[in-house]
A and B are shown apart, each in its own frame.
Chain A
Amino acid sequence: KNQVEQSPQSLIILEGKNCTLQCNYTVSPFSNLRWYKQDTGRGPVSLTIMTFSENTKSNGRYTATLDADTKQSSLHITASQLSDSASYICVVSAGDSNYQLIWGAGTKLIIKP
């Protein structure tokens, strides 16, 4: 069964600190992996999309990594800001023809001043 699991479920860190969020997936065939940021009560916003051949991709203070062999991805946030408080969702696109996206439940990140 195609699944995406994220850890931790929630995380609290102090402003200015770094953090890393984890995503493990069992999706086959694999097409790409995405990270979305979702502010409370808002729609998800895309941070990165990585294909099989990409190991690292950055978007400002956000850096995503992908290890297709171990089927793991991480999202590293550097020098966190209060505005980084949100849920971060890992999504894997199955490489078949039914346009299926498998969504993780997300990691809720809280940045404290």
Chain B
Amino acid sequence: DADVTQTPRNRITKTGKRIMLECSQTKGHDRMYWYRQDPGLGLQLIYYSFDVKDINKGEISDGYSVSRQAQAKFSLSLESAIPNQTALYFCATSRASGSNTGELFFGEGSRLTVL
């Protein structure tokens, strides 16, 4: 089984719908992240969490929200999806590494299409 599991792997939805992407991990890492990947661009950080009570905005948090339900679970929500949120979304984890981001371990990705 994968150490970082994302569900769903693929989702097609319509503009205005609420969407939740879920991530669970068995690596025992404290830190979890949500990234977005668009063709031809580098990954962009949406939100990150260093423990259950810690949530931080990344570079592109507008239009997204997150919930850290447990150490092993971190979900990403799109309250009202719009077409330019069509992208590949990745969840990642890392060990605590002081003031820096440690080695990242990624899930398999969730491909979201908003019509």
Contacts and interface: CB of A to CB of B under 8 A. Distances in A.
Interface stretch (B13-21, B63-71, B73-81, B99-107): B99-107
A15 B48 CA distance: 39
A45 B106 contact: yes
Interface string A40-65: 01111110010000000000000000
A6 to B, nearest CB: 9
Contacts of B43: 44, 89, 101, 103
Q: Interface residue tally of chain B, by bracket?
A: 20 to 34
A95 B100 contact: yes
A95 B101 CA distance: 10
Contacts of B106: 43-45
Interface of A: 4, 31-32, 34, 41-46, 49, 89, 91, 93, 95, 97, 99-106
Interface of B: 4, 40-45, 48, 90, 92, 99-101, 103-109, 111
